[in-house]
Amino acid sequence: MGMTSATSLPHTVVIIGGVAGGMSAATRLRRIHESAEIIVIERGGAVSFANCGLPYHVGGVIPHRGSLVLQQPEQLKKRFNIDVHLRTEATAINRDAKTVSVTNRETGESRDIAYDALVLSPGSTPFRPPIPGVEDAHVLWNLDDMDRLMAAAETAKSAIVVGGGFIGLELAENLVHRGITTTLVEALPQLMPTLDVEMAWPLVERARFRGLDVRLQAQVQAITDAGVTLADGSTIDADMTVVAVGARPNIELAVEAGLEMGEAGGVVVDDQQRTSDPHIWAVGDVAQKKRPDGFSLVPWRGSPTGTAVWLLTPLPAGQRKRSRRLEPRLWASLAWPLRPPDTPSGSWLPKAARCGLFTPTPSTTPATTPMPSRWH
């Protein structure tokens, strides 16, 4: 333990959360600091999985579940000498003692792990709006959610997706692809709320053309075994319901540790992702960063998936501006309804490339159909 004198780099680095941000931090750190002890604490059953591929495994476009899991703990130990603790939850940060309290979720055993540097990458939790029956609906956020959803989809003939942001749209796409009659219910008058209406409307038309029943300005009031009840009293029947209305950053540990929080609800970080504690860094969904154009943002609170969060907890006007970070996601989701009907899985390809699942080869074929002339 302690700083290595030769390099003054931290010797023991503990990372909370072992997926996108956490595992990127761990492997990058190993490349720049060969002798550091790197410990990853992950409360789920897998690290380094491709979140963005989950909807596409539901649809069978990514046929093998194993393709989603990019690294196993054993490989990470062997290749990078990184110690991964699965099903282990960080429950508290003691900044004075520089320790993290962790509990093994299988054995119940708790202990403290000392750190020289701590990286927070605990991500977000899908938001369940406060409506009756919501706890029985599916969400899609991790491999466990996906397994539950796929088990239900095995026998389902019809499905409802609540939320017309990018995860709702991707999931609806894949349920249709599976042959399930799917209705997408969105409270706003358009899909993908951060798009201008001129961009969003063709999306609705094309999604309907491809077999998705899109209901706009339809507010879900209750979720039942039979489907959903809307605010106007009408009902939609379905065998399964999925709620995809945004997510909230997992900031509890940071708040309890007294780290500085930003006005958008994230952990404030500087240009090097360092928090208000010089020994703690934060990355991914929990980090809130000042940007050169003057506003800061927690990704999921302003994301297109965050329709309900957006409606229920409005942000100050300045924070509603679009984020450049979202653009690749938007374009991936746009690709499905707009691509030619005979081009299967068009939206999965750019996503898979971004997830690192494969390297795309240049293509001369346009990715989308041109817009019909009446929209020009």
Ligand X SMILES: Cc1cc2nc3c(=O)[nH]c(=O)nc-3n(C[C@H](O)[C@H](O)[C@H](O)COP(=O)(O)OP(=O)(O)OC[C@H]3O[C@@H](n4cnc5c(N)ncnc54)[C@H](O)[C@@H]3O)c2cc1C
Residues of this chain that bind ligand X (CB under 6 A): 16-17, 19-22, 41-44, 51-52, 54-55, 89-90, 121-123, 140-141, 167, 250, 253, 284-285, 299, 329, 332, 351
Identify the H or E element spanning 27: helix 20-32
Closer residue to ligand X, CB minimum distance, 55 or 163? 55
Look up tokens 């709620």; give the residue: 243
| Smallest distance, ligand X to C-beta of residue 131, A | 21
Look at residues 325, 151, 152, 330 and name the one whose alpha carbon lies nearest to residue 225.
Answer: 152
Closer residue to ligand X, CB minimum distance, 21 or 346? 21
| Smallest distance, ligand X to C-beta of residue 291, A | 17
Residue 165 in tokens? 């942001």
**DSSP per-residue letters across 114-130:** E-SEEEE---EEE---S
Closer residue to ligand X, CB minimum distance, 43 or 98? 43
- By Cβ distance, which residue is nearest to ligand X? 284
Closer residue to ligand X, CB minimum distance, 42 or 116? 42
With residues binned 3-state (H G I as helix, E B as strand, rest as coil), the percentages for the chain, rounded to 5, are 35, 25, 45
Instruction: Give the DSSP letter of residue 320.
Output: G
Question: Using an 8 Å Cβ cutoff, are 57 and 69 in contact?
Answer: no
Closer residue to ligand X, CB minimum distance, 198 or 252? 252
- Neighbouring CB atoms inside 10 A of 370's CB total 9
Closer residue to ligand X, CB minimum distance, 49 or 230? 49
| Smallest distance, ligand X to C-beta of residue 253, A | 6
Closer residue to ligand X, CB minimum distance, 140 or 230? 140
Locate all alpha helices (DSSP H) within 95-165, ordered by sequence. 143-155
| Smallest distance, ligand X to C-beta of residue 221, A | 25
Q: Give how far Cα 32 sits from Cα of 7, 78, 80, 128, 284, Å.
A: 11, 17, 12, 40, 20
| Smallest distance, ligand X to C-beta of residue 22, A | 5
| Smallest distance, ligand X to C-beta of residue 303, A | 8
Question: What is the widest separation between alpha-carbon atoms in the chain?
Answer: 70
| Smallest distance, ligand X to C-beta of residue 322, A | 14
Closer residue to ligand X, CB minimum distance, 181 or 323? 323
**What CA–CA distance (Å, rounded) separates 58 from 55?**
5
| Smallest distance, ligand X to C-beta of residue 372, A | 27
Q: Give how far Cα 62 sits from Cα of 54, 186, 217, 296, 352, Å.
A: 9, 27, 32, 35, 9
